[in-house]
Structure 1
Amino acid sequence: MYWEEERECMSREDLEQLQLERLQATLYRVGTHVPFYRNKFFEMKLDYESFGSLDDLRRLPFTTKQDLRDNYPYGLFAVPLRDVVRIHSSSGTTGMATVVGYTGNDIRTWSNLVARILTAAGVTKDDVIQIAFGYGLFTGGFGLHYGAERIGASVIPISAGNTRRQIQIMQDFKTTALVCTPSYALKMADVMMDMGINPSGLSLKYGLFGAEPWSERMRRQINERLNIIATDNYGLSEVMGPGVAGECLECNGLHVNEDHFLVEILDPKTLEPVAPGETGELVITTLTKEAFPVIRYRTRDLTRFLLEPCPCGRTMRRIQRITGRTDDMLIIKGVNVFPTQIESILFDIEGTQPHYNLVIDRVQNEDRLTVLVEVVESLFFDEMKKQRLVIEQIKKRLASELGVGVEVKLVEERSLERFNGKGNRIFDKRRL
């Protein structure tokens, strides 16, 4: 089942010609309208108008998340703000958010690409889709919402949280497709069990999950416990949001929408292409974005190309599900969290020491982050009431800054391991 069969099954030759034409148009757009890229091209003595092959892509500069922060908020926009109809933003993982914009055409493209992903995963206009992603500046909720409406499905924009109500709505409204994080899907399964509800009695058929890493083991558990077919999809705000790539019902890798995104997999150290089928960092160039085009954006996500053709008939390349990252970013309940972000908050609170550990585990199918922080001796042995006040102060600050709740445990001075050089402060005990 296809949304745009003529595009999704086009020949490699036709696809690469289309990619080249769109790359040339994108380079002209950023070279003439985005000072950041114009200056980069000038410094590199790069004549982007001479590009005649996709191989020339390797001559182009990279774009990083730091570049986006440095140009906050609108420095990388390629159109006047009056042409921007939608603005989304990251959570500001190091104090400065990354801001992205969309023109009306961008929104239409985005909706269409998400429609492809939904269709590949089995969803049709006859489905009732319950979107349990958070709405707001996060791109996931709106991205899946607009794509679902594009195919003509009925959309329940329930957003995240209030699990018992989610399940009640699922029963009453006859939900057939669930959109959320995979860990939240398992939490729903737990709550259903507590409520005495048999998932087989629901109308659920499909689950479209993303925003956090998950494994085949977790997929099997979701399929069995919710009696659905679970598929993965991939996107990131800096490039577009959901709709970059997604699995079909074969569940054997994510089809990249290559007519809109030029993808490379590079060695994160040498920044040279890896051998076919080897794991490396995913780098993406947008080909059709008007408001916020990006050139060779380093996603920091690790994956590899899957070389064998997919039985579904789609011809665009597939990537393996994301296996990790090249930086120290954590994903907790679908929220991006950096240790440096936590560190800066801890060091700002009186009585804490510059030593901490982060322990992540999964309790009742829900991510839990516990921060172990050393405190001065006088505080550690002080009355419990004063310790509780410090813990609450830290928890409130972290929840406010991170956008996700954490547990905090105070530990004695010099009780955490010291390291020569770069220390390992992160202990991820989740079994995906």
Structure 2
Amino acid sequence: MENRYFSKEETYSLEQMRALQTFRLIDTVYRVYNNVPFYRKKFDEMGIKPSDVKSLDDLSRLPFTTKQDLRDTFPYGLFAAPKSELARIHASSGTTGKQTVVGYTKRDLEAWGTDAARAIVAAGGTKEDYIHVSYGYGLFTGGLGLHAGGEALGATVIPVSSGNTKRQIQIIQDFGSNIIACTPSYALYIGETMRDMGVDPKSTHLRAGIFGAEPWTDHMRREIEKLLNIKAYDIYGLSEIMGPGVSFECQEQSGMHINEDQFLPEIIDPDTGEVLPEGATGELVFTCIFKEALPLIRYRTRDICSLSRAKCSCGRTLVKMSKVTGRTDDMLIIRGVNVFPSQVEHLLMELGLTAPHYLMVVDRVNNLDTLQIQVEMSDAMFSDQVRKLEETQRVIKNAVLSKLGIAADIKLVEPKAIARSEGKSKHVIDNRKLDF
């Protein structure tokens, strides 16, 4: 396999990377202390001066930052650059409380373009390619993030945005799109719609997809690859840190390389805040060491994963993060059992008995938590005998009990009964929140 990279930092030695990270960390600490009252107050309360930070080993002495801190300082309280230097504002699509507002200077936008371009190159992209961007454009960072990556690479960007799926497929056919970028749930929907329209995926020029913004399993990857006749790559990002391109899969697909020349990662115990060793699973924390507008210190992402410096066949030396298995704030506690939606998805796709669409409905009856998992039947199943459908329900119910440790009511629903999403898919309805 030909090794290709977008920038030299992707293959730095560990010594080179640590030297760069140390320089940038020290510079960032001084900058936030001098320009962000929130951090100056936090540092002073903890008895920390910028001069106390001399190496990467001092990172763990610094305070954590949370999404609530961004909301408490809404909209611009954590910005380290003057408003006159801001080139763009984005905001998260949070469903509770105020949106989290993020900003970028001109240099930040250029760095973001570099991050996303690295992801496209790692997926086999070149300047000859047509990048079909089906992430939403606007305050959400997805669309403009991959758009910037395509332009930084010198490729041709097709800014389709999300929605109007049949038109998306027509554009893929007519414009010769080579690489598609969207959420994995929308990629699945595009593939299903293409199949329903009678379009042979082999007749298109698509060969790769870059999918992120929500957790997805390897079983879902294989389903997307089959429906679209592509190789599917994971990309990770969050608006508070930058947007898509914080990390990305290479062709080895054994984890996502973190752009650690810009984002310093840690894994912590989500309960104690203790930094965990390499390979341990815990909550991912990032410190932005190259951003000008919003350089967050030890930002708690709430995402659960692990880090590895195992040698990668692609030649990149950037540390890898595993696929995100869930979020500490997405975790459901049902009758004392911790359940992540991604576990249900993995189980259903591993069984392969139904369509890969589901909805978890959690309720409380007589002070007892209940869980119903609605699972969509495939078109072939819809005409099956009642006895066979009952057997499928029983198999799923037993698998959930065995692997997740919880009894659930399994309800098979008609094909396409579960709402599709053009953005992040919704897998949980928790009616217990309505009880006061």
Q: Which moved more, 1:57-66 or 1:1-10?
A: 1-10
Q: CA deviation at 1:70?
A: 0.1
Unaligned runs of 5+ in 1: 333-353, 366-398, 410-415, 418-422, 426-432
Partner of 1:267: 269
| Matches of 1:364 and 1:127, distance apart in 2 | 37
Residue 159 (str. 1) matches residue 138 (str. 2): no
The farther-off stretch of 322-331 and 210-219 is 322-331
Which residue number in structure 1 is paired with residue 125 of structure 2?
123
User: Which residue of 21, 24, 43 maps to 1:22?
Assistant: 24
State the one-letter code of the partner of 1:62.
Answer: F
CA contact (8 A) 1:130 1:175 kept: yes
Partner SS state of residue 157, structure 2: strand
Q: 1:13-46 CA distances to partner (integer Å, 9 max, x unpaired)?
A: 1100100000011001100000000111111110
**Contact (CA 8 Å) 2:6, 2:121: kept in 1 or not?**
no
Contact residue 132 and residue 159 of structure 2 kept, 8 A: yes
C-alpha deviation, 1:306, in angstroms: 2.7
Q: Hey, what does 2:355 align to over in structure 1? A: none
- In structure 1, what is the equivalent of residue 324 of structure 2? 322
Map Cα deviations across residues 97-122 of structure 1 (whole Å, 9 max, x no partner): 11000000100111111111111111
Could you tell me the TM-score, scaled by structure 2's length? 0.77
Change over 3 Å in CA distance of 1:92–1:357 after alignment to 2: farther
Give, in whole Å, the separation in 2 of the partners of 1:291 and 1:329: 32
- Pick one of 88, 92, 100 that aligns with 2:102: 100
Aligned to 1:171: 173
Partner residue, 1:276: 278
Partner in structure 2 of residue 91 of structure 1 = 93
**1:162-219, CA deviations, whole angstroms, 9 ceiling, x for partnerless residues?**
1100000000001110101111111111111111110001100110000111111111
Counterparts of 2:90 and 2:377, CA distance in 1: 32
Q: Distance in 2 between matches of 1:163 and 1:43?
A: 53
Distance 1:406 1:43, change over 3 A: closer
1:428 is aligned to: none
Q: 1:300 to 1:18 in 2, by over 3 A?
A: same
- Provide the alpha-carbon RMSD of the alignment: 3.1
For residues 309 and 364 of structure 1, what CA distance do their matches in structure 2 show? 42
Q: 1:60 is matched with which residue?
A: 62
- CA–CA distance in 2 between the matches of 1:223 and 1:290? 38
Q: What is aligned with 1:197?
A: 199
| d(CA) in 2 for partners of 1:240, 1:154 | 23
1: CA distance, partners of 2:425 / 2:200: 30
Whole-Å separation in 2 of the counterparts to 1:271 and 1:95: 24
Q: Which runs of 4+ in 1 moved over 2 A?
A: 1-6, 328-332, 354-365, 403-409
Give, in angstroms, the shift of residue 357 of structure 1: 8.2
Q: How many residues align?
A: 362
Q: How does 1:169-318 map to 2 (within 5 A)?
A: 169-318=171-320
Structure-2 change in CA distance of 1:31 and 1:364 (3 Å): farther
Question: Does the aligned pair in 2 maintain the 1:187–1:364 contact within 8 Å?
Answer: no
Alpha-carbon distance in 2 for matches of 1:91, 1:127 = 30
CA distance in 2, matches of 1:408, 1:188: 22
- What is the aligned partner in structure 2 of residue 349 from structure 1? none
Mapped partners of 2:368, 2:93: distance in 1 = 25
Pairwise CA distance, 1:327 = 1.2
Displacement of 1:91 in angstroms is 2.5
Partner of 1:133: 135
Cα distance, 1:79–1:181 mapped onto 2, change above 3 Å:
same
Q: What is the DSSP-based 3-state SS (H/G/I as helix, E as strand, rest coil) of the residue aligned with 2:47? A: coil
Q: Structure 1's 360 and 89: CA in aligned 2 closer, same or farther, altered over 3 A?
A: farther
Distance in 2 (CA, whole Å) between partners of 1:359 and 1:58 is 42
Q: Please state whether the residue corresponding to 1:150 is helix, strand or coil.
A: helix
In structure 2, what is the Cα distance between the partners aligned to 1:29 and 1:306? 30
**C-alpha separation in 1, matches of 2:368 and 2:101:** 32
Deviations 1:238-277 (A, max 9, x none): 0000111000011111000111010000111111122321
User: 1:406 and 1:216 mapped to 2: Cα distance?
Assistant: 19
Q: Deviations over 1:369-415 (max 9, x none)?
A: xxxxxxxxxxxxxxxxxxxxxxxxxxxxxx9xxx9898999xxxxxx
State the distance in 2 between where 1:86 and 1:364 align: 44
SS at match of 1:217: helix
- Cα distance in 2, alignment partners of residues 364 and 192 from structure 1: 19
2-structure distance, mates of 1:286, 1:230 = 28
Residue 55 of structure 2 aligns with an amino acid whose one-letter code is: S
Instruction: Give me the whole-angstrom Cα distance separating, in 2, the residues matched to 1:216 and 1:269.
Output: 28
Q: Do structure 1's residue 48 and structure 2's residue 55 form an aligned pair?
A: no
Distance 1:94 1:56 in 2: 34
Pair 144,14 (structure 1): closer, same or farther in 2 beyond 3 Å: same
**In the alignment, is the contact (CA less than 8 A) between 1:19 and 1:262 conserved in 2?**
yes
Q: Give the corresponding residue for 2:146.
A: 144
C-alpha distance 112-307 of structure 1, shift in aligned 2 (>3 A): closer
Unmatched 5+ stretches in structure 2: 333-339, 342-366, 379-418
> After the TM superposition, which residues 8-19 of structure 1 pair with which residues of structure 2 at under 5 Å, given as runs?
8-19=10-21
Tell me the TM-score normalised to structure 1 length. Answer: 0.78
Cα gap change, 1:135 to 1:57, in 2 (>3 Å): same
In structure 1, the residue corresponding to 2:127 is in which secondary structure?
A: coil
Amino acid at match of 2:183: T
Which residue of the partner structure matches residue 2 of structure 1? 4
Contact 1:233 1:247 in 2 (8 A): yes
Partners in 2 of 1:168 and 1:306 — Cα distance?
Answer: 41
Q: Secondary structure at the match of 1:102?
A: strand
